[in-house]
Structure 1
Amino acid sequence: MSDITVVGLGAMGSALARTLIAAGRDVTVWNRSPEKMRPLVAAGAEGAATLGAAVSASPRTIVCIPDYQSTAGLFEQPDVGSALKGRTVIQLSTGTPREAAGGEAWFGAHGAAYLDGAILCWPGDIGTPKGLMLVAGPAAAFEASRADLQPLAGDLRYLGANIRAASTLDLAFLSRLTGIIFGSIHGAMVCEAEGVPVEAFTALLPAGDRSVPLTQTISAESFAHVSKGGATVDVAGSAVTRMRQQAKDAGINSELPDLLCNWVRRAQDAGYGSEETAAVIKALRSARDRGGRQEDR
């Protein structure tokens, strides 16, 4: 039996698995696309033929796939559900607090302990002092998993038994970040409208600020290239959609995520979904050039 299984081998999942291997853990890996398993198997991991076999191989399983809906689709298969009893699942996918609570209930009904986590860093930060990971759930499950989680993040924070806590803070952090991103897009539009170079705006920003590469992208009109630390319009759309869903689930004001979803949708409708998030400005410019009000549809 291995120490831990990693399910989902995108950029982040692969970084988690490699870091665990380097830390001397016996790791089993599984991915829907088997070719993503091969480099990790070459590095020392054990590749599982099926998800059920992957879960059975270890007392703990880290799940790092795009969203909770994808997790549910995979784990609801009969052979997987039956392998969960007595094991711990550590969900590091992205979702809402309501989905985290649903995950705890579903995995609990199948006899598994459940921890819900959020990774607040880039794949390159995994295994370094910059790595930041939040984890919520039963204290006993966290303590039993600490030795596997600690190598992944120099800043590993246990938030207590409230299973909603990690996804809540992830969304709160995301709200701040999207405010910076979309506020900077509007700031660039202000400069363009008043004949002031966007480069002058960039020069005011602190070094390392997310708005620096974003506004540089706008200045250069290089939207096809995703800047370092950036994301595509489609990825930004997924993030602001989660923000809006949480607001609706909690019954709080949703005007900010509603607005951002509207902006992103316009960019997607214009065909900019695969471009850098800064490309949203092109859709907003179009509305300005037509002389019409930018109204919600």
Structure 2
Amino acid sequence: TGPRHATATVEIAGKTVEAGGFLLIGADGVWSAIRAFGRLPAKSRFSGELAWRATIGADSVAGEALAAVGAANCVTTFLHPGFHLVAYPVSNGMAFNLAAFTRGEIIAEGWSGRADPNILAGAMRGTAAALARLAEDAGPWTAWPIHTVDQGQPWTTPAGIALIGDAAHAMTPFAAQGAAMAIEDAATLAGFVAASPADPGSALAAWEKVRRPRIAKVTRRGAVNRFAWHAAGPVAVARNLFLKLRSPEKLAADLDWLYGWRPPEVGDRR
């Protein structure tokens, strides 16, 4: 890379392809290869959390088990000190995706790995019998380790490299905003670069400065969610009471800063 030009050589289906441009954008996720360039941080770190995933048919045994404890037409989240489980319809309601989150030991990097199912079963110890039965009927589960990236490290270089999304600032998924932050990154980065085509290095630095507070706030929200969703004892009682007494409209309004966000004008460096 250079101040005004970047060349990438990649192998696709056994063929080597070379492409050029004036920036190199790393949008290649938490296990980014682009981070190895330009003295950007080269490794993510394991958060201590595992994510578990299964897809079940609505008319399957597991689907019937879900219907007994959850809603078929919306996202349902089950909370417990040892785990939380999110269920939501896909394929026009013909199937459901299940995603569970537990503490666990590090496993191989990847999105469709295997982990000891006893970890999930152990995390669910003491939960409602119907929910435990749903988890058993839904198997086998695939698992992946949740990794994060140190947000104190740079996302851009003067040489024309920028990281976006999980490659730059992978966070735990408890705010469910990883993909959204990547889209925001891309949209705002395009605006800054378009506004300063003659000086892309300065555009990258300005963009990074503007994006950091937003990413930090979303990350903090995820940490709050994780604490609340896995609460036990009096804290869990207080959480449940708060959710019961606060109207859906007020709960939604609490997140206006997140879902109602609009990209700043390029000249607005706040």
Per the normalisation by structure 2, the TM-score is 0.28
Per the normalisation by structure 1, the TM-score is 0.26
Instruction: Give 1 or 2: higher strand fraction.
Output: 2
